Amino acid sequence: MTAGERRRLVGSMRPEDAERVPELHEVDVPDDLRERIQSAMSKYPQLRSAAIPALWAVQRHYGWCTPEGMRQAAAVMGVTPAYLESIATFYDLFRTTPVGHRQVLVCHNISCWMRGADDLLRAFCEAAGADPHAADHGGATSEDGEIFVKGFECLGGCDVAPMASIDERYYGPLSPDDARAAVEQLRSGAEVLPDRALGKRQAAGGPEPEPDPRVAATEAGGSG
Amino acid sequence: MASETRVLFRHVDEPGLASIETYRRLGGYRSLERTLKELEPDELLTTLEESGLRGRGGAGFSMGKKASFLPRGDMDKFLCCNADESEPGTFKDRELMQKNPHQLIEGIAIAAIAAGAGWAFIFIRGEYAEMGDVLDRAVEEAYGAGYLGEGILGSACRVEVVVHRGAGAYICGEETALLDSLEGKRGNPRLKPPFPAIQGLYGGPTLINNVETLSNVPHIVANGADWFKGFGTEQSPGTKVVSVSGCVERPGNYEVELGIPSRELIYELAGGPPGGREVKAWFPGGSSAPVLTAAELDLPYSFEAMADAGSMLGSGAIIVADESVSIPQLALRTARFYHHESCGKCTPCREGTNWTVKMLERVISGEATPMDLDIVASVQDNIIGNCLCVLGDSMAMPVGSMVKKFRDEFEAAIEAGKASAPRPLDESAADTRPVALGVS
């Protein structure tokens, strides 16, 4: 949009044109979506706190935060759709455009970068058929529309660097070969990289060392 | 040979520790029972303050003192557990929550009782979906066992705990942005004062503590302030779970007494840089901490020693860069993160992070002159202290320290960039840019 077009658009806007809070009967909210949002609203002292949980519910239901989904959530919450859109566009994990339904976030922050994150991101893109430049600048979906790949800021998995979050689970350390295998598994519906799952990793320092005498002497520490 | 001192990480890999049965079998929830039977909230606050426990999220402020700032009296007060761990290089809270969620929940219940807060929110970053699921299960178990909710263990105390998942924003780790986000807004920091202890969540007095800080609470209640002070140094009592990452053989979380030589952490526990290479630079407290050099490896790892060296212990995350790493590239990666995460509310941070990235790109591509390095440094000076929160400062400090301590390398990068810069009319110009960086 040019500056002139933008000026004309803003000039044409009238307060009465702003979309108001949609009424529940005007939108057809799927039952499970409405239940999830209402359950989130009941958990907080003030219902607006449910904005992020409501958007999570929309994203889980539709695969991304669709304008219609946000309108439905707005009707349930009693806020304007624009309010929810302002939240959805602020946070990195909400998608406001359609994306592949399998999601790969590759950490490209310093600890992972020093251990080969750029090569890993490229390998994921090549295997999936996604544009590597776009993947590192907001995310890219594979040509077949299945897999969404995105270079992401520190995911907090630096102990398994270079790493990636695949469908909300952490995996690492990953080689370019692992990336190719993971994409294959995502496509075939197999379990993804079972031996690289962070959840199975033991403490880095190995088995419990002989406890320090001051710790051993405490019969009832919070955990020991 | 250095070894760990495991307090929070005791039994960390015990199978089933995340379940309430195992946690209780190992002595868990006794501190909460003791709190309800024997201790008045004031006694609890005194114990926490006397222990000298300092916040483990980054600022290092006395936890007991912070709790004592909350006004007394009958009003809605809140506790927020900051589990938005997003500081690059930091992953200690992740392991603490994933493996021992009940230790945290017990700490939250005790701290909420001490502060008189009826509601507690665990704000966990959205990326930690797996740990969020673990917490959901653990909170449900704790409700089922009567450790949370109305009338805890038959007392008059009430603590409601809600696990709140964020949606990806580093800024939400800043305590006032966290509050805005929890209220269902965009995560923008607030003007302080008023501080959250006076006016925080929903306008009520709010205590905000990090996961690791709260996980220490059951141990302090069980064993006393003097026991806790028996670990660490006078000004940095206790143990610390330190996340070591980057160029080391065995990256991971290591729980050590504060004050141990940094070299032991990096070389003995984490194995030092691979291939026999030497440490060139290291961040002692996440990527927001000014970098230190190999000459500073013998400093004790404590709040005071890091501050005296012009850096900070921060979140307790050591990121090691060895001789194979280019410092200008490291500076650019660091700056790019803060540029991406700046919420855009304050001009010095929004513009300063943007221009720092652009200037560092010029340095690397050979379009800069050494004089530009002074401009990079002056941009950093103009960010520090001029914004509502410290996000901008968190870029300015490490980038400024890199330019200052490794200026030769920046100048060499400018020269090297010039030498390899494309000649005019060279059609392959686009290919000779540092595309591997993926910078915009």
Using alpha carbons, select from B363, B285, B275, B356 the residue that is nearest to residue B320. B285
Query: For residue A56, what are the CA distances in angstroms to A112, B253, B263?
Result: 27, 31, 44
**What proportion of chain B, given as a percentage, has pLDDT over 70?**
95
Specify the amino acid at residue A171.
Answer: Y
Mean pLDDT over A1-28 rounds to 90
Give the separation between CA A86 and CA A75, rounded to whole angstroms.
Answer: 16
Q: Which long-range contacts (CB under 8 A, 24 or more apart) does A179-188 make?
A: A179/A120, A179/A123, A179/A124, A179/A127, A180/A123, A180/A127, A182/A104, A182/A124, A182/A127, A183/A104, A183/A124, A183/A127, A183/A128, A183/A147, A184/A127, A186/A102, A186/A104, A186/A146, A186/A147, A187/A146, A187/A147
Mean pLDDT over B417-425 rounds to 67
pLDDT digits (tens, 9 = 90+) for A79-92: 999 999 999 999 99
- Higher-pLDDT residue of B127 and B369 is B127
Mean pLDDT over A167-195 rounds to 97
pLDDT digits (tens, 9 = 90+) for B221-234: 999 999 999 999 99
What is the predicted pLDDT for the residue at A216? 85
Give the separation between CA B117 and CA B328, rounded to whole angstroms.
Answer: 47
Chain B nearest-CA residue for A105: B127
> pLDDT grade, residue A217 (50/70/90)?
confident
pLDDT at B1 over 80: no
pLDDT digits (tens, 9 = 90+) for A102-158: 999 999 999 999 999 999 999 999 999 999 999 999 999 999 999 999 999 999 999
pLDDT digits (tens, 9 = 90+) for B231-257: 999 999 999 999 999 999 999 999 999
> pLDDT grade, residue B422 (50/70/90)?
low
pLDDT at A221 over 60: no
Q: Quick one: three-class SS letters along B1-38?
A: CCCCCCCCCCCCCCCCCCCHHHHHHCCCCHHHHHHHHH
Residue pair B175/B194 in contact (Cβ under 8 Å)? The answer is no
**Chain B within 8 Å of A154 (Cβ-Cβ)?**
yes
pLDDT at B435 over 60: no
> pLDDT grade, residue A15 (50/70/90)?
confident
Give the separation between CA A61 and CA B243, rounded to whole angstroms.
Answer: 36
Q: Across-strand partners of B244?
A: B252, B318
**What proportion of chain A, given as a percentage, has pLDDT over 90?**
86
Give the separation between CA B18 and CA B6, rounded to whole angstroms.
Answer: 17
DSSP for A151-168?
A: EES--S-GGG-S-EEETT
What is the phi/psi pair of residue B25, to 5°?
A: -60, -35
Give the separation between CA A122 and CA A133, rounded to whole angstroms.
Answer: 9
**Chain B within 8 Å of A39 (Cβ-Cβ)?**
no
Mean pLDDT over B377-395 rounds to 96
- Most A CBs within 10 A among B7, B131, B179, B242, hence the mutation to make, goes to B7
- Higher-pLDDT residue of B420 and A206 is A206
What is the predicted pLDDT for the residue at A219? 54
Q: Which residue has the tokens 């990326």?
A: B127
CB contact under 8 A, A156 and B245: no
Chain B nearest-CA residue for A48: B184
> pLDDT grade, residue B50 (50/70/90)?
very high
**Chain A within 8 Å of B182 (Cβ-Cβ)?**
yes
Q: Which residues of A touch B87 (CB under 8 A)?
A: 154
CB contact under 8 A, A151 and B250: no
Using alpha carbons, select from B209, B243, B241, B252 the residue that is nearest to residue B87. B243
If contacts are CB pairs under 8 Å, which of residues 358-417 in chain B contact chain A? Answer: none
Specify the amino acid at residue A46.
Answer: Q
Give the separation between CA A125 and CA A208, rounded to whole angstroms.
Answer: 40
Residue pair B30/B103 in contact (Cβ under 8 Å)? The answer is no
Q: Which residue has the tokens 């007991």?
A: B64
Q: Across-strand partners of A106?
A: A151, A164
Using alpha carbons, select from A69, A64, A65 the residue that is nearest to residue A22. A69
**Any idea what the Cα angle at residue B137 is, between residues B133 and B142, rounded to 5°?**
145
CB contact under 8 A, A49 and B27: no
Q: Which residues of A touch B185 (CB under 8 A)?
A: 48, 51, 87
Strand A169-171 and strand A164-166: pairing?
antiparallel
- How many CA atoms does the CB half-sphere of B237 hold within 13 Å? 18
Structure tokens at B274: 């691979």
Chain A nearest-CA residue for B21: A223
**Chain A within 8 Å of B137 (Cβ-Cβ)?**
no
Question: How close A145 gets to chain B, by Cα (Å)?
Answer: 23
pLDDT at A223 over 50: no
A112's CB contacts (< 8 A; 6+ apart) are A106, A120, A154, A157, A158, A161, A162, A163
**Chain B within 8 Å of A64 (Cβ-Cβ)?**
no
- How many CA atoms does the CB half-sphere of B436 hold within 13 Å? 10
CB contact under 8 A, B127 and A137: no
* Closest Cβ opposite residue B10 in set A43, A111, A221: A221
Rg of the Cα trace of chain B?
23
Chains A–B, number of C-beta pairs less than 8 Å apart: 236
Question: How close B368 gets to chain A, by Cα (Å)?
Answer: 23
pTM exceeding 0.80: yes
Q: Across-strand partners of B292?
A: B282
Chain A nearest-CA residue for B222: A221
Strand A147-152 and strand A102-107: pairing?
parallel
What is the phi/psi pair of residue B272, to 5°?
A: 70, 175
What is the predicted pLDDT for the residue at B392? 97
Give the separation between CA B90 and CA B85, rounded to whole angstroms.
Answer: 7
